[in-house]
């Protein structure tokens, strides 16, 4: 085994060379780093820097962008030391996901089964296990990648983004939060403190189906499905699509067609057809638009069957 | 770069392999470069550098994380374990013996990350199934072995660690 002793001296020499060159390896642009211990303190810093500052939580989306210098904020506000942002709990029949809750926290949580099944099915499909240990749900939503998995899962279930700013707290419906690829309704001096889901309904189930080329890849296609039952018929259905539009796409026509319908084969097939129609796929390295649209149809059908069975059980 | 950038540094104190280390570091320094260049612990490898391959995996408070996608300053006050920290007083650790015995490596580039991810898995699940092992290491890419022997090595280590405990 290579030990600390054998590599130590060589490592140190190379380190000296780096220092003589003016520093060690760095890719991101220089930034000032702040690690506040309260949301108020974080907001003060954000106000001071305006849109020059970025909030850092898990960093699994932001740091890769900074390494490529696609993002070069002059200040980073690391919210990782703020107490009370790591709660994952059910309150008044709605799930609250704190800003520091990781994908791995969700993967392990028993809360995300049953009525919250669409979230429970999504967690283990986000990126890879090591990234899931560090990346956060709220960070992923705030990043607003159209290929993000959480955006679809939360759109299907129904959710609002809770943000704190200098003027206090506001809740932004997720439908209004993502205004375009990587663009959100968040003000520069606002922090996402949690995501709050809708009440899934007493008899509800859901799932997420993701086609990916390999673990850790973005979705070629993802379909999130949530269904609540009301006296044997479908009360509310939520269907949202990943990777087939400039943002996560809510398949509204498919949802409307299901509301009040009997959960039978005809209703499922019609909803799947409407979901495929709602997709706006592009030809790319992951597949042709035609192929992706058909995967949306097939996954919506499969997802609805799983979600309905879960809600009936 | 044509433009000289300002250097912004901050003090950093972390525990690395049981030893407290205090250094003044650039805020933008990635954890992997802190370990390799500032501390000279070159067992942690830079593979893809794009959060994809897991060669740079270290344990942060016992949890595997990709040190190429974490700033060193984010590790303030944390306990880090690198591959160098796996070696105990009694020689090579069971996980290293297991990778050797089962030919769980060829070029060895992914091995530090594979071993650290495996250690974290065995902490949580001392007798993992094939599926659990494959799931756990799915964020660590190996281009030599085809993974078969890595899975065998983790089973081997699990058995050895149970015997030893």
Residues A92 and A189 in one domain: yes
The rounded percent of chain B whose pLDDT value lies above 90 is 90
Residue A7: Cβ within 10 Å count: 16
DSSP string, A43-71: HHHHHHHGGGEEEESS-TTHHHHHHTTS-
The verdict on a CB contact (< 8 Å) between A26 and B71 is no
At CB < 8 Å, which residues of chain A contact B? 1-4, 7-12, 14-15, 18, 23-33, 35, 56, 59-60, 63-64, 66-67, 76, 78, 80, 127-131, 133-134, 215-216
The verdict on a CB contact (< 8 Å) between B37 and A24 is yes
Average pLDDT, chain B: 94
Of A9, A15, A23, the CB nearest to B7: A23
The verdict on a CB contact (< 8 Å) between A7 and B41 is yes
Is B3 a member of any domain? Answer: no
The rounded percent of chain B whose pLDDT value lies above 70 is 96
Q: Which of B41-55, B77-91, B128-142 is the least confident region?
A: B77-91
Question: Can you give the residue range of the structural domain that contains B48?
Answer: 9-85
pTM over 0.90: yes
Of A149, A181, A197, the one marking the end of a domain is A197
CA dist A251 and A273 (Å) reads 10
pLDDT tens digits for range B54-99: 999 999 999 999 999 999 999 999 999 999 999 876 778 999 999 9
Q: What pLDDT score was predicted for residue A179?
A: 87
Residues of A in contact with B33 (CB under 8 A): 24-26
Residues A75 and A175 in one domain: no
Is B37 a member of any domain? Answer: yes
Pair of tokens at residue B165: 């405990």
Question: Can you give the residue range of the structural domain that contains A308?
Answer: 204-312
Of B50, B65, B73, the CB nearest to A134: B65
Pair of tokens at residue B37: 């260049």
Q: Do residues A78 and A174 touch, judged by C-beta distance below 8 A?
A: no
Q: What pLDDT score was predicted for residue A22?
A: 52
Residues B79 and B96 in one domain: no
Is A49 a member of any domain? Answer: yes
Q: What pLDDT score was predicted for residue A10?
A: 41
CA dist A102 and B86 (Å) reads 26
Residues B72 and B92 in one domain: no
Q: What pLDDT score was predicted for residue B163?
A: 86
Residue A159: Cβ within 10 Å count: 27
Indicate the number of domains in chain A: 3
CA dist B31 and B81 (Å) reads 12
Which residues does chain A have with pLDDT short of 70? 1-26
The CATH number of whichever domain residue B57 belongs to comes to: 3.10.20.30
The answer to whether residue B43 scores a pLDDT higher than 90 is: yes
């Amino acid at each position: 085994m290579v030990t600390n002793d054998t590599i130590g001296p060589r490592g140190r020499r190379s380190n000296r060379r780096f220092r003589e060159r003016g520093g060690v390896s760095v890719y991101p642009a220089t930034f000032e780093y702040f690690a506040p211990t309260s949301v108020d303190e974080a907001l003060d810093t954000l106000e001071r820097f305006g849109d020059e500052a970025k909030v850092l939580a898990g960093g699994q989306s932001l740091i890769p962008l900074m390494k490529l210098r696609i993002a070069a904020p002059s200040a980073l506000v690391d919210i990782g030391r703020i107490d009370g942002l790591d709660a994952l709990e059910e309150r008044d029949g709605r799930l609250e996901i704190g800003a520091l809750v990781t994908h791995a926290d969700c993967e392990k949580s028993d809360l995300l089964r049953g009525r919250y099944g669409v979230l429970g099915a999504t967690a283990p499909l986000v990126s890879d296990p090591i990234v899931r240990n560090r990346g956060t749900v709220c960070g992923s939503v705030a990043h607003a990648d159209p290929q993000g998995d959480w955006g679809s899962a939360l759109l299907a279930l129904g959710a609002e983004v809770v943000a704190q700013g200098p003027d206090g707290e506001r809740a932004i419906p997720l439908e209004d939060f993502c205004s375009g690829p990587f663009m959100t309704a968040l003000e520069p001096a606002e922090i996402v403190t949690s995501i709050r889901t809708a009440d899934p309904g007493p008899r509800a189930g859901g799932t997420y189906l993701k086609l990916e080329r390999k673990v850790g890849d973005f979705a070629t296609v993802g379909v999130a499905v949530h269904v609540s039952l009301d006296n044997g018929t479908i009360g509310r259905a939520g269907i949202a699509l990943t990777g087939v539009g400039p943002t996560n796409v809510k398949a509204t026509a498919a949802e409307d067609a299901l509301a009040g319908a009997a959960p039978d084969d005809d209703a499922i097939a019609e909803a799947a057809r409407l979901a495929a129609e709602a997709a706006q796929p592009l030809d790319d390295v992951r597949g042709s638009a035609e192929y992706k649209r058909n995967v949306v149809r097939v996954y919506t059908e499969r997802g609805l069957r799983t979600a309905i069975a879960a809600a009936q059980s | 770069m044509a433009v000289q950038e300002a250097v912004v540094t901050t003090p950093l104190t972390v525990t690395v392999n049981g030893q407290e280390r205090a250094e003044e570091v650039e805020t933008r320094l990635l954890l992997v470069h802190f370990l390799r260049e500032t501390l000279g612990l070159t067992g942690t490898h830079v593979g893809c550098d794009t959060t994809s391959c897991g060669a740079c995996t270290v344990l942060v408070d016992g949890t595997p994380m990709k040190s190429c996608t974490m700033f060193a300053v984010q590790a303030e006050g944390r306990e880090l374990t690198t591959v160098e920290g796996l070696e105990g007083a009694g020689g090579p650790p069971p996980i290293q013996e297991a990778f050797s015995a089962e030919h769980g490596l060829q070029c060895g580039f992914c091995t530090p990350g594979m071993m650290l991810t495996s250690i974290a898995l065995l902490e949580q699940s001392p007798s993992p199934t094939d599926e659990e092992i494959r799931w756990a290491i799915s964020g660590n890419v190996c281009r030599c072995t085809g993974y078969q022997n890595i899975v065998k090595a983790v089973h081997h280590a699990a058995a050895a660690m149970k015997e030893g405990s």
